[in-house]
Chain A
Amino acid sequence: MKDLDHDGAVPTRRDLLKTGAAALVIPLVLPATEAAAAAGAGAIGAYLKIGADNTVTLVSGASEMGQGILTGLAQLVAEELRLDWTQVRAEHAPATTQWPNPYGNPLFGWQLTGGSTSTRGWYAPLRQAAADARATLIAAAHQQYGGTWVAIQGGKLKQGAKTVLFSDVIATAAGMTPATGTPWLGTKRVIGQTVNRLDLPSKTDGSAVFGLDVKVPGMKFGSTVHGPVQGAKVKSMPASSGGYTLYNLGTAVGVLASDTWSAIQGAKAAANKVTWDLPATPANADTTALAAHASALVTSTTATTYVAELVGNPVIGPKAQKIDATYSLPFLAHATMEVMNCTASVTASSCEIWAPTQGQQFIIPLAQGITGLPPEAITVHSMLMGGGLGRKFETDYVAEAITLSKLSGVPVKLTWSREEDFKNDYYRPSALIRVQASLNAKGGIGAFVYRNVSPSIGLQRGQVSSNNPEDTGAVSGAVAIPYKMGARRIEYVPLDPCEVRLGYWRSVGESYNTFAVESAVDELALLAGRDPMEFRKSLSSDARTTGVLTALETLTNWAAGPGPGLGRGMAYLSGFGSYIAMAADVANVGGKLVVRKVWCAIDCGVAVNPGSIEAQIQGGVAHGMSATLWGQMGFVNGKPQAQNFNHYKLARMNEMPEVAVSIVASTAAPGGVGETGVPCVAPAIANAWAKLTGTRVRSLPFYPGATMAGA
């Protein structure tokens, strides 16, 4: 276990990206009584609260956005404390500026949720914490009652015929030095089971409180409107519009009203009265101009290039059997079901924030900057998220709510209109990727040269520089692939400048690199005259890769092939600490591609909650399919072209294929799941379509300009 060694400073995003499996020692404070927590003692650093009613509440540093993490992490605790599932509760931790952050993900130290890291990061530390809590409670019973005690099912302690509850000894336990290094029970009574999600009843009766649902006494409903193009700033504006005071937020204008609808209407009307400072170079946020620049860079011999991986000296001879294919993917919006929103209450001495957020780590420093208050005056409540998808890492909407409350002097619930949400995203970067590869004498891959040209998230955030563009995120999914590919060179060329605001979209770099890699591998298999499954199995350089490929082969009954009129394609990914292979059957219905069925075999190590894993993969397929067939955000001189779902089509019920999921039994450490289902969808579909029709689609989406009608 090694500390990040930052002298108490919060690490930068670059540190986050570079930190591998280093972990912080969890400063576990166990167990805190509810009374102690209410008094503030033990509220920070306490992972478990044992109530007077003998319920056990996990205080989770990871945020729930639909992935089921509160349930999954609570399962770890229930396992080691031998709890009945009905005793188990979970809630979000508060944000803190303590460093090390007691609620930071042990993988990288920060309190944020993303990169499919929560189960990976918390699995061992939380099991250990719960095991140590069990030992501490046993020791407390010994101290309180004498004799030898054991923990038994139901959160109880037993000595002969005598039984006491955890709650009977928590006062004693709170005064003891917590046990350390307690062996895990390892019985897997709860881990590996599809237990019911803790948050589900509340998500069927309207009682779940999402960010959008926060109610604070005396609050006003706010909305903001931003400039018409990327990067616009307020130049001048009237003091009021339509009877509403206008608030200048720099890049937006805010309106407060007695309800959200009035605020949205008021903000829209105000937008026409604002003069905006527009960026000097609109072409830098113009899809057509950016695509032309990318086309030049993808073949340029002089472009500034980051060689992310070099194995041998790949040379593609003139007589080699080879491919030279260029794949293109668009900018994408996150389009979470819940629009950006945040509630804030700022006074002269305090700031309270209710945010649907994946990025707690950033919020107190942000609020300090806006309010000038010390960190101890700032409280952050993490609300349930109506989807995060990477968008709710960002804090732009949180900053707007804090500023509106500060300027107006009243609590404010800020809600963006859907149009503002589409217009002001941190978009998934576009990508233009060229693959030049050749076969060797045995019909395997002899040389593989890969160039990704895409705008750089890292460059936009100052993590890398134009002349040293080591954006590791941009090539994730293209490097360290466990395939025998002969000599290879993996290059990244930043599409710079780019003034489209960029961000992390579910499955990040893999969302575009896996499309290029796995399409190219399919094209190479075709060139070699080999079956795509057999080809990949022959390329596999590790057992877990072979394992998921074989599992998919079995699941699909690969040798039998698809039914009449269908084409079957496949793809594979090692990513997020997991291995996945996916196949898709597609049909040609009047010239249009329809996805009929998708199969997935996943090896994500220990499967904490198989039902949740299945749900995440099914969801990943839906998300990936929407992006493959229809997803696209165009920009004309900085103006986002899709501003609501009518121009940003997503899969509906009737378009959703059946998804069969097979989880490969594994005792390896847990891998990530939330994003793992997304990247293989596009190549599996494109490969299936190529098989069915002979037409190779290298440019996504399949159907640009798709629209969606109302009810």
Chain B
Amino acid sequence: MKGTTMPTYTLDVNGQAHTVTVPSAEIPLLWVLRDYLGLTGTKYGCGIEICGACTVLVNGNPERSCDMSVQEAASRKIMTVEGLATDPEGARAQAAWVAHQVPQCGFCQSGMLMATTGAMKAGHKGADIIPELDNLCVCGTYARIKDAAKTL
């Protein structure tokens, strides 16, 4: 909102502290990541928590970042797809995605990988990861996601 004092937050994203000044305490984490921090790997798909393209890890749990305000996110540890390579579970998931040639257009895959990594962190293994993934993939890469997840 113009004409009001813009709030400032410090976010912990992929282990780094970022201080941002945003127009509103209500702006979703998704847009802070993308438009203020330049971390565009996290995608906008629907804005209503259905498609999961915006999934990030918040304190290790998969969350739809389109519906988490910056205010809520500020006190938590955020991990995005850009941070996966340095995360043990994340790096394994990435490698499985490449080994099984999962992505087509790739737009949903950041969210898929974050949901998968979150499921691994929650103790799910192999085929047990699959029911945890409710993200949408319009390309229909589900079969290969299943194949990849089964190896994790």
Residues of B within 8 Å of A261, CB to CB, are: 27-28, 30-31, 35
Decide if A386 touches B43 in the complex (CB within 8 Å).
yes
Q: Which listed residue (B51, B80, B94) contacts A337, Cβ 8 A?
A: B51
Decide if B40 touches A215 in the complex (CB within 8 Å).
yes
CA distance A393 to B152 in the complex (A): 39
CA distance A141 to B109 in the complex (A): 45
User: How many B residues touch the partner, as a band?
Assistant: 35 or more
CA distance A221 to B130 in the complex (A): 36
CA distance A646 to B101 in the complex (A): 29
B58: CB under 8 A from chain A? no
How many chain A residues touch B (CB < 8 A): the figure is: 71
Give 5 pairs: A residue, B residue, CB < 8 Å, sorted on A: A196-B101, A204-B113, A259-B22, A337-B136, A619-B140
Which one of A82-90, A112-120, A314-322, A620-628 is at the B interface? A620-628
Residues of A within 8 Å of B2, CB to CB, are: 242-244
Decide if A215 touches B38 in the complex (CB within 8 Å).
yes
B41: CB under 8 A from chain A? yes
The residue among B24, B51, B105 with the most chain A CB atoms within 10 A of its own CB is: B105
> Interface SS of chain B: helix, strand, loop or mixed?
loop
CA distance A611 to B147 in the complex (A): 14
Q: Which 10 A-B pairs have the closest CB atoms?
A: A206-B41, A622-B140, A386-B107, A66-B105, A203-B106, A243-B2, A66-B104, A213-B40, A619-B140, A710-B49
Decide if A259 touches B23 in the complex (CB within 8 Å).
yes
Decide if A658 touches B143 in the complex (CB within 8 Å).
yes
Residues of A within 8 Å of B80, CB to CB, are: 206
Q: What residue of chain A has the Cβ atom nearest to residue B108's Cβ? A: A337
The total of interchain contacts (Cβ-Cβ below 8 angstroms) comes to 206
Residues of B within 8 A of A (CB): 1-3, 22-24, 27-28, 30-32, 34-36, 38-53, 64, 80-82, 84-85, 94, 97-98, 101-110, 113, 130-131, 133-146
CA distance A202 to B109 in the complex (A): 11
Decide if B134 touches A337 in the complex (CB within 8 Å).
no
A residues 614-636 touching B (CB-CB < 8 Å)? 615-616, 618-623
CA distance A261 to B44 in the complex (A): 10
Residues of A within 8 Å of B82, CB to CB, are: 205-207
A687: CB under 8 A from chain B? no
Q: Which listed residue (B32, B34, B48, B109) contacts A646, Cβ 8 A?
A: B48
CA distance A417 to B34 in the complex (A): 15
Q: Which listed residue (B27, B39, B64) contacts A711, Cβ 8 A?
A: B64
A644: CB under 8 A from chain B? yes
CA distance A85 to B64 in the complex (A): 37
Residues of A within 8 Å of B113, CB to CB, are: 204
A183-224 CB contact bits vs B (8 Å, 1 = yes)? 000000000001011011111111111101101000001000
Decide if B46 touches A204 in the complex (CB within 8 Å).
no
A38: CB under 8 A from chain B? no
Given contacts A68-B104, A205-B81, 14 further A-B contacts (CB under 8 A): A200-B101, A204-B113, A215-B38, A221-B35, A259-B23, A384-B106, A387-B139, A418-B46, A619-B140, A622-B137, A644-B50, A653-B130, A653-B133, A656-B142
CA distance A388 to B105 in the complex (A): 9
Q: A196-B101, A653-B133 are in contact. Are A387 and B138 (CB under 8 A)?
A: yes
A111: CB under 8 A from chain B? no
CA distance A335 to B39 in the complex (A): 24
A65: CB under 8 A from chain B? yes
CA distance A341 to B110 in the complex (A): 19
Q: Which listed residue (B35, B46, B104, B140) contacts A259, Cβ 8 A?
A: B35
Decide if B105 touches A337 in the complex (CB within 8 Å).
yes
Q: What residue of chain B has the Cβ atom nearest to residue A389's Cβ? A: B138
Q: A204-B97, A205-B85, A261-B27 are in contact. Are A656 and B105 (CB under 8 A)?
A: no
The residue among B40, B81, B82, B146 with the most chain A CB atoms within 10 A of its own CB is: B40
CA distance A224 to B103 in the complex (A): 30
Q: A196-B101, A242-B1, A259-B35 are in contact. Are A204 and B94 (CB under 8 A)?
A: yes
Residues of B within 8 Å of A264, CB to CB, are: 47
Q: What residue of chain B has the Cβ atom nearest to residue A194's Cβ? A: B101
Residues of B within 8 Å of A656, CB to CB, are: 140, 142-143
Residues of A within 8 A of B (CB): 65-68, 194, 196-197, 199-210, 212-213, 215, 221, 242-244, 257-262, 264, 335-339, 384-389, 415, 417-418, 611, 615-616, 618-623, 644-646, 650-654, 656, 658-659, 708-711
Decide if A206 touches B97 in the complex (CB within 8 Å).
no
Decide if B138 touches A336 in the complex (CB within 8 Å).
yes
B95 CB, min distance to chain A CBs, angstroms:
9
CA distance A203 to B113 in the complex (A): 10
Q: What residue of chain B has the Cβ atom nearest to residue A708's Cβ? A: B50
A198 CB, min distance to chain B CBs, angstroms:
11
Residues of B within 8 Å of A212, CB to CB, are: 40, 43-44
Residues of A within 8 Å of B138, CB to CB, are: 335-337, 387, 389, 622-623, 650
Residues of B within 8 Å of A708, CB to CB, are: 50
CA distance A199 to B109 in the complex (A): 13
Decide if A258 touches B23 in the complex (CB within 8 Å).
yes
A622 CB, min distance to chain B CBs, angstroms:
3
Q: What residue of chain B has the Cβ atom nearest to residue A625's Cβ? A: B140
Decide if B47 touches A418 in the complex (CB within 8 Å).
yes
Residues of A within 8 Å of B104, CB to CB, are: 66-68, 615-616, 619
Q: A262-B23, A337-B107 are in contact. Are A197 and B136 (CB under 8 A)?
A: no
Q: A196-B98, A200-B101, A204-B98 are in contact. Are A259 and B44 (CB under 8 A)?
A: no
The residue among B2, B41, B106, B144 with the most chain A CB atoms within 10 A of its own CB is: B106
Residues of A within 8 Å of B110, CB to CB, are: 206
A113 CB, min distance to chain B CBs, angstroms:
13
The residue among B22, B64, B103, B144 with the most chain A CB atoms within 10 A of its own CB is: B103
CA distance A259 to B36 in the complex (A): 7
Q: Which listed residue (A65, A203, A262) contacts B109, Cβ 8 A?
A: A203
Residues of A within 8 Å of B140, CB to CB, are: 618-623, 651, 656
Decide if A387 touches B107 in the complex (CB within 8 Å).
yes
Decide if A205 touches B50 in the complex (CB within 8 Å).
no
Q: What residue of chain B has the Cβ atom nearest to residue A262's Cβ? A: B23
Residues of A within 8 Å of B28, CB to CB, are: 261
Residues of B within 8 Å of A194, CB to CB, are: 101
Decide if B41 touches A207 in the complex (CB within 8 Å).
yes
Decide if A337 touches B36 in the complex (CB within 8 Å).
no
Residues of A within 8 Å of B51, CB to CB, are: 337, 645
B101 CB, min distance to chain A CBs, angstroms:
6
Decide if B52 touches A66 in the complex (CB within 8 Å).
no
Decide if A711 touches B134 in the complex (CB within 8 Å).
yes
CA distance A417 to B45 in the complex (A): 9
Decide if B136 touches A650 in the complex (CB within 8 Å).
yes
Q: What residue of chain B has the Cβ atom nearest to residue A620's Cβ? A: B140
B17 CB, min distance to chain A CBs, angstroms:
19
Residues of B within 8 Å of A650, CB to CB, are: 136, 138
Q: What residue of chain A has the Cβ atom nearest to residue B51's Cβ? A: A645
Decide if B50 touches A260 in the complex (CB within 8 Å).
no
Residues of B within 8 Å of A213, CB to CB, are: 34, 40
Q: What residue of chain A has the Cβ atom nearest to residue B84's Cβ? A: A205
CA distance A709 to B51 in the complex (A): 10
Q: Which listed residue (B41, B136, B139, B144) contacts A645, Cβ 8 A?
A: B136
Decide if A418 touches B45 in the complex (CB within 8 Å).
yes
Decide if A206 touches B81 in the complex (CB within 8 Å).
yes
Decide if A710 touches B50 in the complex (CB within 8 Å).
yes
Residues of A within 8 Å of B131, CB to CB, are: 653-654
Q: What residue of chain A has the Cβ atom nearest to residue B110's Cβ? A: A206
Decide if B44 touches A415 in the complex (CB within 8 Å).
yes
The residue among B51, B109, B140, B145 with the most chain A CB atoms within 10 A of its own CB is: B140
CA distance A209 to B34 in the complex (A): 12
Decide if A200 touches B142 in the complex (CB within 8 Å).
no
Residues of A within 8 Å of B107, CB to CB, are: 210, 337-338, 386-387
Q: What residue of chain A has the Cβ atom nearest to residue B140's Cβ? A: A622
Residues of A within 8 Å of B101, CB to CB, are: 194, 196-197, 200, 611, 615
Decide if B141 touches A206 in the complex (CB within 8 Å).
no
